[in-house]
Amino acid sequence: MQPPGPPPAYAPANGDFTFVSSADAEDLSGSIAAPDVKLNLGGGGDFIKESTATTFLRQRGYGWLLEVEDEDPEDNKPLLEELDIDLKDIYYKIRCVLMPMPSLGFNRQVVRDNPDFWGPLAVVLFFSMISLYGQFRVVSWIITIWIFGSLTIFLLARVLGGEVAYGQVLGVIGYSLLPLIVIAPILLVVGSFEMVSTLIKLFGVFWAAYSAASLLVGEEFKTKKPLLIYPIFLLYIYFLSLYTGV
């Protein structure tokens, strides 16, 4: 009787597993990868990996702590645009004020009809800087005169029947300080010549007052124009006195 031989290889298939005999099996090795844990958050079929801490917070109702707001494109605007500063518009208005003659072809009504704040403020601050003479209180005083002087002109214009806003008056009065800034370096040169200095001062005041009055005093005032032109002229005389110290 012969001894029994090795059992035949038996490899039945059972689903994903295959059984082989130990005698015929080769050296097998491998690894089992851990499956990705994914949660469906109801995002239209999109699955997002989440850590244990994230899952814990969501299950406890604190998922709002993990929300990230989308960036708003409007938050990335340039600084000048964010502050509503248009340098080209300011430059055009400066030219309109410094060259008030209608024959030059500038649309000067844009200074009144499209008022801004930063341009006049820059002009007033610059005028304050050149008026210092070592007295820093002059800066705040000039700004105060600009604000309340413009308010006086505005109230007078409304009493006389003019259709003008306070912002328009504030802008026109501020921009019209430019002629006084232009004559400032000239006064430093001819300051020793009293007659010439006086003529330049009068020229600067008339220039500033004419530029402001031609923008603020419209046809609606008719025969009442002198009642508005005169206080504007006095206001710029006072501005000049703050600069010269008279």
Write the pLDDT tens digit of every residue in 21-50: 555 555 555 555 555 544 444 444 444 455
Taking Cα atoms as reference points, which of 120, 91, 117, 118 lies closest to residue 106?
91
Higher per-residue confidence, 9 vs 140: 140
Show me where the domains of the chain are located: 87-244
Write the pLDDT tens digit of every residue in 124-137: 888 888 876 656 66
Contacts 24+ apart (CB under 8 A), 92-99: 93/119, 93/175, 94/119, 94/123, 94/175, 94/178, 97/175, 97/176, 97/178, 97/179, 97/211, 98/178, 98/179, 98/182, 98/211
Q: What is the mean pLDDT of residues 151-165?
A: 86
